[in-house]
A and B are shown apart, each in its own frame.
Chain A
Amino acid sequence: MPNQNGKVYGLTILSPIIDDETAIPSHDLQIRNYLAKLPTDERSPFALAPATHLTRLVVMDDVIYVGMPACEEHLKSKYLIWESNCDGNLNTYLTGLAASIPEHLDAIWSHCVGYPGASNLQAFIDYMKACQLETTFFFAAVNDKSVTETLRALQTQRAVSDFIANHQGMDPARLQSDFNQFLTELNAKPTPRAGILTPYRDIKTGGRNE
């Protein structure tokens, strides 16, 4: 099942964009305009909705002619490519998006042929599946962790670095007591928000590559 690699799903959607000579600006340009203004950080729609590791949207105007002796050919439609690397199965993922960010989905895909809107969940899922392409080969560096698990692990990594740096040479009883306190505080922390950039920490590790 090449769409799935471990716990990660590789979604590839190709949605034909409406070709309407009377639309000004054209529908593909309207998609591009909207995407250009969409935040890519923690305010991103994909950060507000659950389960997206990485995703991209690309307007494909045409296929590329690579030169003689290849044949020159052109697409009859422009396509919106949506590539997403997400948790869980496809139905759960699409349902989560439709519930969390319907206004963004509608703003983008309303320029595509046959898009039914996110308010009709079953029609929305059916539409996306009609536009889905089977992934031929899908590689994931980490394929057994969810977005939440990864965000928490990155938070843990930073906290552990600080804990170790601050507890060098400490006597065992104090170390154990501080560690238990550290664990309690770490577990109580909320999961970091997706898409956010962590502040720069000016730490000196003394590694051999520095």
Chain B
Amino acid sequence: MSNINGKVYAMNVVTPMKPWKTWLLRALFFALWHIKPLQQDLINLSFIEFARWVIIPRRRFPFLAHGQAEEDLQYDYLLFFSNFNGTWNQYIDAFSSVLSRGLNLIWRWSEKFPGSVPITPFKEYIAQVQFDTDYYYTAYPYATANDLKAAHIVQASLDQLAQQANTANPQQFADAYLHFMLQVQAHLGNTGEAPLVS
């Protein structure tokens, strides 16, 4: 079991919600999905590679017969899966500091959610409703979300420069190369093993 692979941490959180409240949360997610500026805080937290929320209505747990007992639940459940860079404490701290309003809007419908500020009861709640990961894989364990964005910027800039490499004269190429360096110089950070954290 490990929640960590290279530079990513896998978080699994499951919280109960009264069924009538899930419709309010669905409306909120609908707005968040379609009004892109509302996602800006999430984008600004640039250490999240992928994250998702999944609402399971109490009568929609997969039921396949074959002797399986059908669930009989009073609550709907909100599942949250995040793939982020850094430690658990850094993540929760950043969420609480930067996204407290958004987090409260998402989790306030869950039972006993204490609010994301102050931080201590928030951390206690997340620790209570979190599951450990049994298996975790990433195709690029040495890279963070920022590394990925930077690498794609370098690749796009290089592809542009490559188009001129054969046709330009040396001076024109040197000018284009200088422009290329200005484009990529902030995106050449080193990737590699993650630092050890306690």
Please report A residues at the B interface, Cβ cutoff 8 Å: 2, 8, 10, 12, 14-16, 19, 31-32, 35-36, 38, 40-41, 44, 46-47, 52-60, 63-64, 66-67, 70-71, 73, 75-77, 79, 81, 83, 85, 113-114, 130-131, 133-142, 145, 147, 149-154, 156-158, 160-161, 164, 171-173, 175-176, 179-180, 183, 194-195, 197-201, 203, 205
Contacts and interface: CB of A to CB of B under 8 A. Distances in A.
B197 interface: no
A16 B46 contact: no
Contact of B66 (A113, A140, A150): A113
B83 A85 contact: yes
A195 B142 CA distance: 9
Given A136-B55, A183-B165, A54 B187 contact: no
Contacts of A203: 190
Given A157-B155, A200-B193, A60 B131 contact: yes
Nearest 9 pairs of A and B residues by beta carbon: A172-B170, A172-B174, A76-B69, A153-B151, A114-B64, A194-B139, A35-B135, A153-B155, A70-B111
A10 B53 CA distance: 10
A166 to B, nearest CB: 13
Given A36-B1, A40-B136, A140 B50 contact: yes
Given A40-B136, A52-B137, A85-B83, A173 B14 contact: no
The interface size bin for chain B is 35 or more
B183 to A, nearest CB: 11
A184 B139 CA distance: 25
Among B6, B63, B64, max chain A CB count under 10 A is at B64
Among A38, A67, A113, max chain B CB count under 10 A is at A113
Contacts of B66: 113-114
A10 B52 contact: yes
B181 A164 contact: yes
Interface string B55-80: 11000111111111111111101010
